[in-house]
Structure 1
Amino acid sequence: MHGSQFFPKVTAIALAIALSSQAYAASRYDELANLPFKNGFPTKASSQKLADELIFQRATQAYLWSLPAINIWAMKEASEKQFGAGYNILPTWKGRINAKTLVTTPNSDLVYAMSYLDLKKYGPLVVEAPPGVQGMFDDFFQRPLVGPTIEGKTWRGDVGLAGPDKGKGGTYVLLPPDYNGPEPKEGFVYRSRTNNVFLFWRTFFKNPADLTTPVAEVEQTHIYPLGQKDTALPMQFPDATGAQINMLFPHDGAYFDMLSRFIEAEAVDPADMDMRGFLHTLGIEKGKPFAPDAKRRKLLDQAARTAFKMSKVISNDLLVNEAGGLYYKDRQYVNTFAGENTEFQSSGSYTNLEQRVAFFTSAYSDSPGMVMNIVGAGAKYPATSRDADGNYLDGGKSYKMTLPADVPAALFWSVTAYDGLSASGMPNGQAFPSLNQMDKPVQNADGSTDIYFGPTSPGAGKNWIQTVKGKGVLVIVRLYGPKQAFFDQTWKPGDLHKQ
């Protein structure tokens, strides 16, 4: 079922939401709007209800606004608790990342390395990036660091094929937001708007059974304080494979405790002053302890749980109504990077908060190589949580997806299944919840590839990604080094058809 049949489904959902909203408004919103004032002043009861409502509303919006920061901060805290902290520690998934590591939309079909660099503690840091990595530097609002302008092009965040080193490796100098020293003479200079920087390396393998080369590439990385190469701490590359580590951001009131720790650790960006005012209302302020009483903590917990659910409504229902929210008119695949802008700014006049929330509630890391349409470099990520009929993917049901022949990926392609709620890897009992080009999947006579999803095997000799009963499913098709056929849509992935 395609285009003309899909949009009535979305319209029906929108109508149902509108009708339920009207009924809800007739109760709660009417009550708020009609709370009594006496002689122009609020009664005690009205004042209390409206004060609580102010806290609730500011908390829900603060949650949605800060998702990019708290998604990555949760990863930092969990990683450093497990592996230790320091510029010299680069946890590496040497046997590939699997569903035991809880983090939003990881890719099992690469070797991952992720680190969290504290520029306030250590000052400017130098990163010697080896050849072969495809990576990025993001600040802790997951905005790509601004790099040098070379031949009229300003580089932002990317390292590797899509970066200024063009895959040959290079030296990068990371400067903190308050840096006022001399301009470094070496390497590519990248400037951060936050004290902390996320380093994210990905290296490729050709044979899933032999990861020696991609791991060795990661382990050529050197990180040290500017001017202190000879006295720097030795690099450590702890193996994170199989670590049962929860790197997910909280979906409840604990989120605001984490947000308070983030605010305390981070530089004050003048662009955030209004939202920091929202946080002040909640009791979160840099330099002051966050100590809500029992009543406030309950209200914040309710707001956090509501805001997380709002983020899922935005991702699953509202995003498709955004311009370019779907990759194809006749397919279910969502495009959270429709604006081709790393800060989700649209037409230079506003930030598309729907796209930003949809991305950071289900993913982390952001760079031009992911966002811009660059033939043969970077990556693209068509994603869907719906089957061909427009219904949500159910882990208890079976589906078939077909990838037409000649998948337009210069480097490789992969397909991965995720838990529809947390967006972490589907805990399906298989080694990895994914299938990739290097697995040499079974192909049809015409070169196309059928991939089956479901709780039970479709039979011997078929490409199967197992799902789990009782869990919704999010599916992402990854194309590394997308070719022209992807951009002109002469090649399109098939929808998931219920079997």
Structure 2
Amino acid sequence: MKLAHGAIPRLAVAVTAIVMSSAAQAQTSRYGALVDAPFEKDYPTADTARSLRDELIFQRATQAYLWALPAINIWAMKEGSEKVFGAGYNVLPVWKERITASTLVTTPNSDVVYAMGYLDLHKDGPLVVEAPQGVQGMFDDFFQRPLVGPTIDGRTWIGDVGLAGPDKGKGGTYVLLPPDYKGEPPKGSVPPGAFVYRSRTYNVFLFWRTFFSDPKDLAKPNAQIAATRIYPLGQKASAKPMQFPDANQQPADLLFPRDIRYFEMMSRFIDSEYVDPADLDMRGFLHTIGIEKGRPFAPTPDMRTLLDSAAQAGFKMSKVVITEMLAQEPGGKYYPDRQWVNVFAGEDTSFQSSHTFTNLEQRSGYFTSAYSASPGMVKNLVGAGAKYPVTFRDKDGHFLDGGQSYTLHLPPDIPAKNFWSATVYDATTASGLDNGQAHPSLNKMDQPVQNADGSTDLYFGPNAPAGHEKNWLRTVPGKGYFVIFRLYSPEKAFFDQTWKPGDLEKTS
């Protein structure tokens, strides 16, 4: 059969209209049932009351899920860490041979040495942290907001420690105060020259990163971390001895759940935490679903089923946000002609760049797939801090497929004063992709082979391209993944875009 001229475009329009009509009908059916739920003599029927109540609970639960992502992400890390390594201000797990895919946590960086600790300012009171020389670290509260530090020479320090912090990488002493601490610490209790930081939550996340130039020699970065000392204010002499367990020897699951256990975890978090007046409205959402400070979380079987569905739906919503909606936000793409997404488009750790609202899309998108934030990560700082372009799609706009092969072209003179790296992550969990390689990443220190013009091609796919094995990251057929291209101490060429990475291009 031969179609008349113009029939194909008309057919495409018709098919599109049918698809759109089907989607609209489904939406109308769902919401129309709510709008048209019957009332009798101005009051809801029993069936109407039940269906609208369930809908209210479901909606509040999904929004509570998204609101709490920063907190439950880090609370899951705390619980998972303490289950394996133990709890206490003196316990600082270290990934001494670089973090591998055996540790389940959102978007870890395999190209530095990590140390992550969880401090309880309610249980232990104000704590002193002696940060060693050479770390790039931070203190975040448990909504992953950087702690507010001192104002020095007109600048208020927020969260950063070490290279991007007030000690400028020389090492320094920090005093951490809980949210209900009134006034200043007693005279003589604060070590001379210490930087005082205040937290909005009782729980505080301590996160150190140290660097290396040779992946086979990690003695120095490990020694730097081992110089850390943590103790209650005024109690250095009687403090518990520090412990630095090797976290790669005991793989831990630090991921937050995606079902009813999310809300069970949320109840434990709420019970342990300071009540911030700024959170009272959202805590009202939690009250609706049975979560309240000082009250046991004991949902009925029907409520458990409803909340389990809400958690699963909330997780899927968060994935739609990060893969679809972030790129549509102002500044959401680094380059208009490429797929690289900017997860910190607002350059603000509170995701309030306009100061008129909180950008919940940016916040929930980020914290479903990552943890920790500090000014050094989000601000545009030439020659300092870091940048994290991320891509979920290939050059043609299709999601990355673990069964396909791709090439990423990096022009010469990659503008990273410290180093650059490319890492592959599981599209569902956002943990390092368990691809069978020692680390799911390639970095400058691995010395990948350069082309004659100084550019570098990286290869992604299930099989190594012949002759390019050193520049290859294995992917897993049947699994989606995404890529983060990190630049530590990015240089001017990155910011003025005289240097731009290519997109991942499908190859045969």
TM-score by length of 1: 0.96
How many residue pairs match? The answer is 486
Per the TM alignment, residue 160 of structure 1 is displaced from its structure 2 partner at its CA by 1.3
Distance 1:105 1:20, change over 3 A: farther
Distance 1:330 1:291, change over 3 A: same
- What SS does the aligned partner of 1:230 have? coil
Within a 5 Å distance, the mapping from 1:52-451 to structure 2 comes to 52-180=54-182, 182-183=184-185, 185-186=190-191, 187-451=194-458
Letter in 1 for 2:170: K
| CA shift digits 1:180-206 (9 cap, x unpaired) | 253364300000000000000000011
Write the distance in 2 (CA, Å) between the matches of 1:164 and 1:128: 13
Per the TM alignment, residue 426 of structure 1 is displaced from its structure 2 partner at its CA by 0.5
- Structure 1 residue corresponding to 2:460, chosen from 435, 448, 453: 453
Distance 1:337 1:18, change over 3 A: farther
Write the distance in 1 (CA, Å) between the matches of 2:303 and 2:403: 39
Distance 1:158 1:42, change over 3 A: same
1:482 counterpart residue number: 490
| CA shift digits 1:257-308 (9 cap, x unpaired) | 0000000000000010000000000000000000001100000000000000
Per the TM alignment, residue 244 of structure 1 is displaced from its structure 2 partner at its CA by 2.6
Write the distance in 1 (CA, Å) between the matches of 2:505 and 2:250: 34
Q: Identity over the aligned pairs, expressed in percent?
A: 68
1:5 counterpart residue number: none
Distance 1:295 1:384, change over 3 A: same
What's the C-alpha RMSD, in Å, of the aligned pairs? 1.4
Per the TM alignment, residue 35 of structure 1 is displaced from its structure 2 partner at its CA by 0.2
Letter in 1 for 2:377: M
Q: Is the 8 A contact 1:283 1:290 kept in 2?
A: yes
The worse-fitting range, judged by mean Cα deviation, of 180-189 and 157-166 is 180-189
Per the TM alignment, residue 493 of structure 1 is displaced from its structure 2 partner at its CA by 1.1
Which consecutive residues of structure 1, in runs of 5 or more, have no partner in the other structure?
Answer: 1-13
- What SS does the aligned partner of 1:346 have? coil
Q: Is the 8 A contact 2:190 2:233 kept in 1?
A: no
Per the TM alignment, residue 68 of structure 1 is displaced from its structure 2 partner at its CA by 0.1
| CA shift digits 1:428-468 (9 cap, x unpaired) | 00000000000011000111110000011111344100000
Distance 1:138 1:18, change over 3 A: farther
Which consecutive residues of structure 2, in runs of 5 or more, have no partner in the other structure?
Answer: 1-15
Q: Is the 8 A contact 1:98 1:242 kept in 2?
A: no
| CA shift digits 1:338-369 (9 cap, x unpaired) | 11110000311000000001100000000000
Letter in 1 for 2:397: G
Distance 1:254 1:17, change over 3 A: farther
- What SS does the aligned partner of 1:30 have? helix
Per the TM alignment, residue 498 of structure 1 is displaced from its structure 2 partner at its CA by 0.2
Write the distance in 2 (CA, Å) between the matches of 1:420 and 1:292: 31
| CA shift digits 1:127-186 (9 cap, x unpaired) | 000111000000000000000001111000001121111111100100000112533643
Q: Is the 8 A contact 1:97 1:242 kept in 2?
A: no
Q: Is the 8 A contact 1:110 1:204 kept in 2?
A: yes
- Structure 1 residue corresponding to 2:33, chosen from 24, 31, 34: 31
Q: Is the 8 A contact 2:90 2:240 kept in 1?
A: yes
- What SS does the aligned partner of 1:229 have? coil
Distance 1:224 1:21, change over 3 A: farther
| CA shift digits 1:51-85 (9 cap, x unpaired) | 00010000000000000000000000000000000
Q: Is the 8 A contact 1:101 1:242 kept in 2?
A: no
The worse-fitting range, judged by mean Cα deviation, of 19-28 and 482-491 is 19-28
TM-score by length of 2: 0.94
Please identify the structure whose Cα radius of gyration is greater. Answer: 2
Write the distance in 2 (CA, Å) between the matches of 1:24 and 1:163: 52
Distance 1:19 1:64, change over 3 A: farther
Write the distance in 2 (CA, Å) between the matches of 1:182 and 1:259: 32
